[in-house]
Amino acid sequence: MVRDKEATKAKLLDAAMDEFAQYGIAGARVDRIAAKAGCNKAMIYAYFGSKEGLFDELLKIQIDRMIQQVPITPDDLPGYAGRLFDSYRDQPQLLRLAAYHRLENGFDAIPAAEAEAYRHKVEAIGRAQMEGRISAEFNANDLLDMVVHMSILAFTTPNATRALVERSVSRLIAE
Amino acid sequence: MVRDKEATKAKLLDAAMDEFAQYGIAGARVDRIAAKAGCNKAMIYAYFGSKEGLFDELLKIQIDRMIQQVPITPDDLPGYAGRLFDSYRDQPQLLRLAAYHRLENGFDAIPAAEAEAYRHKVEAIGRAQMEGRISAEFNANDLLDMVVHMSILAFTTPNATRALVERSVSRLIAE
DNA sequence: ACCTGTCAACCAACCGGTTAGTTGTCAGAA
DNA sequence: TTCTGACAACTAACCGGTTGGTTGACAGGT
């Protein structure tokens, strides 16, 4: 038997991803997570404190990954929305995680890393507008809200396509 | 004590609305619903069969109400999105109910009444496009998807406004 | 010898659902 | 009008199983 703290944590996080995405926070079962990870249930409490603790750390990691994976391109917002859409479509689990989190914790309780990344993106869009590179029809904050909201279409609508998202954002920022 | 089947069902549905909207399906507690309604728990099983049965009937009733309350206006899609937005903002519980339902049951399992109402709306938009009253840039189905999706902004974004939704839809259908 | 990661066994609380029995209501007989 | 019996509405108590969480013993690396 190998003893590796980090490897065990990783296996638990991996199993937790499946479980939380499928059943939500209230519906997730700690025993199932432990079994899927091939670990003992007690490890969850040793490393993450509680079921909620495990969920919070998992969400934070996944959000950080997504932020790194899909950087914003203020000069190509339709493309940004499209790339976000593809990411969400390819890994629907993150969106489900975030949805459950928001449903159970409200608008507040947004992870600090996410809030900060959001501020940076608003600033980037604001600069592009000031320099006249994109439309200033909407203020930067609203515009980012709309763009992100569009990329979420994969979650709301069964037959949504990337092309539809990109065309919609194009029309939003058209001069 | 008064014995009134319909009144009891109504009280249970009322209590269930609060409980399911707050905690979701898995998180809702049957005992809490019964206590909040001032009824005995067994009544839930007598009248609705199960926790899920209670949820399904509740969702169906609420969706029917919303469909009646906010009729589509194919010639004023921005206004339609705005009115939907206001309804969702004033009664956030329905959106939470629907979100939990979709998370736990997937895209399938959409109540028949909702699917049929959706078809009618697509047809209404299609006619308006054929007669040249609104843009045919998007096909009717995609357009309705986008309009409804926009109205959902109340759920996704903390500081969304009706005006923002209406302006966005206006740009989507602009010639 | 001594940490430290691991785990089986355990626990109290809780959960959805059932049941045996009680009570209010009302149609219809007297 | 009054009584009554039958049924629907209702209830308290309970049930089997499950839940998140704990702990004491043990094994492996140093």
**Overall average pLDDT of the A23-45 stretch:** 93
What is the token pair recorded at B18? 């609060």
Residue scoring higher pLDDT (A167 or A110) = A167
A4 pLDDT above the threshold of 80: no
- Residue among B104, B107, B156 whose CB faces A149 most closely: B156
Give the model's pLDDT for residue A114.
Answer: 85
Q: How far is A37 from chain B (nearest CA, A)?
A: 23
pLDDT band at residue A5, thresholds of 50, 70 and 90?
confident
Nearest protein residue to nucleotide C16, judged by CA and C1' positions: B30
Q: Which residues numbered 82-141 in B keep a CB inside 8 Å of some CB on A?
A: 96, 99-100, 103-104, 107, 137-138, 141
Share of chain A above pLDDT 90, in %: 81
d(CA A45, CA A53): 9
Give the model's pLDDT for residue A133.
Answer: 93
What is the token pair recorded at B171? 């740009």
Contact criterion met (CB below 8 Å) for A8 and A16: no
Residues 104-163 of chain A within 7 A of strand C, judged by CB, are none
A1 pLDDT above the threshold of 60: no
Residue scoring higher pLDDT (A125 or A109) = A125
Q: For residue B125, give the 3-state DSSP assignment.
A: helix
A53 pLDDT above the threshold of 90: yes
A3 pLDDT above the threshold of 70: no
What is the token pair recorded at B9? 């069902």
A2 pLDDT above the threshold of 70: no
Give the model's pLDDT for residue A107.
Answer: 79
Give alpha helix (H) positions in B28-139.
Answer: 30-37, 41-48, 51-69, 77-90, 92-105, 112-130
Q: Which residues of B touch A27 (CB under 8 A)?
A: 24-27, 104
Q: How far is B155 from chain A (nearest CA, A)?
A: 9
Asked whether strand D has any atom less than 7 Å from the CB of A43, the reply is no
pTM: predicted TM-score of the whole model, two decimal places:
0.92
A112 pLDDT above the threshold of 90: no
In angstroms, the CA of A23 and the C1' of C17 are apart by: 21
CA geometry: angle A156, A172, B73, nearest 5 deg: 65
Which chain A residue shows the shortest CA-CA distance from B169? Answer: A172
Give the model's pLDDT for residue A31.
Answer: 94
- Beta-carbon contacts of residue A71 (< 8 Å; ≥ 6 apart): none
Contact criterion met (CB below 8 Å) for A37 and A12: yes
A168 pLDDT above the threshold of 60: yes
What is the token pair recorded at A46? 């040793």
The chain-wide mean pLDDT, for chain A, equals 92
Asked whether strand C has any atom less than 7 Å from the CB of A43, the reply is yes
Give the model's pLDDT for residue A123.
Answer: 97
Closest nucleotide to the alpha carbon of B3, via C1': D9
* Contact with chain B for residue A172, Cβ under 8 A: yes
Residue found by looking up tokens 């499946």 in the block: A18
In angstroms, the CA of A16 and the C1' of D24 are apart by: 27
Q: What's the average pLDDT block by block, 10 residues per block, for chain B (175 residues)?
A: 88 96 96 95 95 96 95 97 96 95 86 89 96 93 96 91 96 90
A108 pLDDT above the threshold of 90: no
Q: For residue B161, give the 3-state DSSP assignment.
A: coil
Asked whether strand C has any atom less than 7 Å from the CB of B11, the reply is no
- Residue among B23, B152, B174 whose CB faces A26 most closely: B23
Give the model's pLDDT for residue B87.
Answer: 96
**Overall average pLDDT of the A145-160 stretch:** 93
Asked whether strand D has any atom less than 7 Å from the CB of A29, the reply is yes
